[in-house]
Amino acid sequence: MRRCKQFRSPTVNRRDSQFLCIAVLLLIGSHAEAHHSPARFDQQRDVTVEGVIRTFEWVNPHVYFHVAVRSDAGEDVVWVVEAQSPRVMSMFGWSGTSLRPGEFVTIAAHPLRAEGEPVALGRAVQKADGTTLKISWQPDEIREAIRREQPRSDAR
């Protein structure tokens, strides 16, 4: 039986390889935290959030908007509403300019399972002019929207 010689790079020492390993783990961990499932939301409960758009973030992996809601004590509580990816949102009529800071909205959403934080999973947004923008989380609806978007190749 032949033994292989252990390879040792003259330029990479043990401390460098440990640093590299830690950096990779941190990078993977931050990505896993950034992209999560909607399981942290209680999809059996509904909340209605009425307030004014503070920010609208049209970014991957999920669109977020922050809504200032006036509390009973007269203070603004900022709700963070998570939506789908920009790609999925665009299939349901959304764009990066669908919401503007200062705009009054009514949001149908699911709250977090753990009570306490003003964070929700958006389902629909009604604007002051009556326009309703849907946020779909249903795989069947998303698949159908993708099919509708596909160009037809049977026109021969």
Domains of the chain and CATH, by start = 38-147 (2.40.50.140)
Predicted TM-score of the model (pTM)? 0.73
* Rounded Cα–Cα distance for residues 4 and 1 (Å): 10
Task: Please state whether beta strands 76-82 and 119-127 pair in parallel, antiparallel, or not at all (unpaired).
Answer: parallel
Per DSSP, 92 falls in state T
> Average pLDDT for consecutive 10-residue bins of the chain (156 residues)?
52 58 45 61 96 98 97 95 97 97 98 94 98 96 92 63
pLDDT for 149 equals 87
* Rounded Cα–Cα distance for residues 85 and 127 (Å): 20
Residue written as tokens 């993977």?
A: 28
pLDDT for 37 equals 74
Q: At CB < 8 A and 24+ separation, what contacts does 3-7 make?
A: none
